[in-house]
Structure 1
Amino acid sequence: MFSGSIPALVTPFDAEGAFVEKAYRDLVEWQIAEGSAGLVPCGTTGEAATLTKEEQFAIVRVCVDQAKGRVPVLAGAGSNDTRVAIANVAAAKEAGADAALMVPPYYNRPSQEGIFRHFEAVARGSDLPIVLYNVPGRTVTDIQPATVARIVAAFPDTFVGIKDATGSLARVTEQRAGCGEGFVQLSGNDETALAFNAMGGTGCISVTANVAPRLCAEFQRAWAAGENAGALALHDRLFALHLAMFTDASPGPVKYAMTKVRRGFPDGLRLPMTWPGEASRAAVDAALARAGL
């Protein structure tokens, strides 16, 4: 269902923190025109943690409406409350999303059994495809490879893939062995996307693709076509930008970068997220120049 370069879309806010729908529709249109293979509204980079549920799925609805079926939409829908997670998947489906992207329960710190039971309940309460999102650096909770395999074995038609942001490349092989060749694995880290694909991944849910959608799409297409030297050259061209996106609290740096590559792009963030510091802005500027952007 998912492969290639898939941006984790930023959510444009004005100076008062209000959603700017026109800027978002323009962003979706630009991403599709530049070759992005899918869209993720209301994920971490989209500041989902500071959206109300009504706002979150209204934004998903706007994304779906603007995409008009040209690329799949993978809506952020996770929660640390299983009942809320089930309701979120239903809301994502009602908004027209093709699948839901779901972190395991954060803060609660459930056991591996608790993680399995959480996703078991979600699967039984929904018929929308789900991509697991493992990002223990943010959630603390880590879905171990054996648990991923157990979840997929129990509900193979529901859990179609994983966004893996653990940084552990060995897991790509472990999860491929445990879940089968048809299980989609997407890198959650731009800087390791090349190695992730070499281990068996099929793409990346990308922060950098917000800023450089064409280059990120060309990178993924080159790898998929077996043009390894070309993929490596694009990886090298983008590498400093990948790192610059996290020189301050995300999505501050990527939103700053958006104002450099998209004239008039709104520069608002919702507290507690703030504008990146001077050193971060300088790193982004240098990386944009190096990438030819």
Structure 2
Amino acid sequence: MSQPLFKGLFPALVTPFRDGAVDEEAFIRLVERQIDGGVHGLVPVGTTGETATLSHDEHRRVVELCVATARGRVPVIAGAGSNSTEEAIELVRHAKAIGADAALVVTPYYVRPSQEGLYAHYAAINAAVQLPVVVYNVPSRTGTDISNEVLARLSKLPNIIGIKDATSDLSRASMQRLMCGDDWVMLTGDDPTGLGYLAHGGHGCISVTSNVAPEQTAAMYNAALSGDWEGALQHQDRLIRLHRALFSDASPAPTKFALAHLGLCTEDVRLPLVVASEASRAEVLAAMRDAGVV
């Protein structure tokens, strides 16, 4: 069995704003904090990075900043999804051109393609760009759920290397591992069930919680990946409230509130998102104390 390059903890990085623009200095600080905290890789401009409200120029700039700041210390999986196949191809081409290690490509949202359409979408990207692609399945946001049967077909293509699974359905992970083979990279996108996902054969997590608590979250994944399940469970127990609190309001507003509380960036989000509610803030602060962040 070959070991995947992409395993462990990959923060789904927020995109900080100041006065309506991307705060590049704050973004660089956040990337350095994640690397210092022991994460195993970085994921810019995913859902948590508010990619839906970034211009194309901003999107590309954030990926460039992430790659330049990482300087090869950890791999970068660049968000590059779109509901247009041609646009997704262009974003994956850009990710390759500036030195990203892989691209994260969400299932096309809103248009709700058929399963055959989903296969054709990723097959077109596979044929167009020689860069590893991680399929991002998050049906609660996209309205489309890519089946294990289609993933098994995609796993045979040279550039489609794995999944970010945000379905929270752990039984699918076991079946997918059997259907897609040992080289298929399996990353969860659901922090609360991340430990269980590893137990089902997963390799790691693209994490929201890591934005706030990189050291604590990395410690959990390091313990699990080394076979220390009891230690990993202890970390999970300290983090579970934070996992949930960061989704107590529309994401990433609670995460940005937590980072602002730590003095790392503003809590600004772009419409139609608004800052976290008072109830969410209280829940986040209590959870940060549980996790040992404050």
Q: Is the counterpart of residue 5 in structure 1 residue 9 in structure 2?
A: yes
> Which residue of structure 1 aligns with residue 168 of structure 2?
167
Structure 1 contact 252–273 (Cα < 8 Å) conserved: yes
Do the aligned residues in 2 keep the contact of 1:85 with 1:122 (CA within 8 Å)? Answer: yes
Amino acid at match of 1:7: P
CA contact (8 A) 2:107 2:118 kept: yes
Is the counterpart of residue 68 in structure 1 residue 42 in structure 2?
no
Q: Deviations over 1:129-152 (max 9, x none)?
A: 100100000001111100100111
Residue 287 (structure 2) pairs with residue 287 (structure 1):
yes
Alpha-carbon deviations, 1:184-219, whole Å to 9, x = none? 101100000011000000110000000000011110
Unaligned runs of 5+ in 2: none
TM-score of the pair, normalised by structure 2: 0.97
Residues 5 and 264 from structure 1, CA distance in 2 versus in 1: closer, same or farther, beyond 3 angstroms?
Answer: closer
Give per-residue Cα distances to partners, 1:135-176, cap 9 Å, x unaligned: 0000011111001001112x1x20111100011101111111
1:80: Cα distance to partner?
A: 0.7
Aligned-CA RMSD value: 0.8
Contact residue 58 and residue 95 of structure 1 kept, 8 A: no
Specify the alignment match of 1:225 in structure 2. Answer: 226
> Kindly, what percent of the aligned residue pairs are identical?
52
Establish whether residue 190 from structure 1 lines up as the match of residue 170 from structure 2.
no
**Moved beyond 3 Å, runs of 4+:** none
Tell me which residue corresponds to 2:130: 127
Please state how far the C-alpha of 1:260 moved relative to its aligned partner: 2.0
CA–CA distance in 2 between the matches of 1:6 and 1:83?
27
Output the CA distance in 1 between the equivalents of 2:291 and 2:44. 25
Shift in Å at residue 264 of structure 1? 4.7
Asked if 1:31 corresponds to 2:30, the answer is no
1:1-293 paired onto structure 2 within 5 Å? 1-14=5-18, 16-153=19-156, 155=157, 157-261=158-262, 263-293=263-293
The whole-number CA distance in structure 2 between the counterparts of 1:171 and 1:118 is: 22
* Mapped partners of 2:169, 2:69: distance in 1: 35
> Does structure 1 conserve the Cα–Cα contact (< 8 Å) formed by 2:13 and 2:42?
yes
Secondary structure of the equivalent of 1:274? coil
Q: Structure 1 length as normaliser, TM-score?
A: 0.97
Structure 1 gap segments, 5+ residues each: none
How far 1:91 moved relative to its partner? Answer: 1.2
CA–CA separation in structure 2 for the residues paired with 1:267 and 1:139? 25
Cα shift at 1:228: 0.7
Q: How far apart are the structure 2 equivalents of 1:123 and 1:83?
A: 12
Q: Amino acid of the residue matched to residue 288 of structure 2?
A: L
Q: Which amino acid aligns with 2:244?
A: L
On the 8 A contact 2:11/2:208 being kept in 1, the answer is: yes
